[in-house]
Amino acid sequence: MSAPFTPEHTSADNRFQRRHQRKTADERALIIEMIAVLFFVALCVAIVVQLFAQSASDCRSAHDTSCATRLARCDAEQFDVSPDKVTGVSYFDVDGNPSDTPSYWTLTRTVAPEQTEAGTMYYATIHLLSTQGTTYDLSTARYESNGEGETL
């Protein structure tokens, strides 16, 4: 006598189970692959964001250096041509425009005269300090003999 017919023993049912197991394994592989791709994309985005942040910081630093150089050079030229050799403090905004109150840049000019037999030597130190901590120093000198000056 043959065994009674049960659905668990049919070959069609076995094929269905094998297909289902294969399909589940394929889905797991796809999910793992998607997680790996998402991790890679997140890593790339993090690197790009850091690059943009560093670029912005470098740009700000370059702007500060350029502005400080310009302000110090202009003050040194003023010292060279101005008849009053005084120590003083000046204030400038972030773009280097003059300001009446303490702002982004504080420029301090210190002048030290030194008498010689033939005239006076004026030594000036120009110090720039920003609110961000950026500093820039410039030293210059001017010699005056009988009312006429020469820059050294």
How far lies 11's CA from each of 2, 19, 21, 25, in Å? 16, 12, 15, 21
* CA dist., res. 116 & res. 24, Å (int): 96
First to last CA, the chain: 122
Question: What pLDDT digit, counting tens, does each position of 95-147 carry?
Answer: 888 888 888 999 999 998 888 888 888 899 999 998 888 789 999 988 888 65
pTM of the predicted model, to two decimals? 0.62
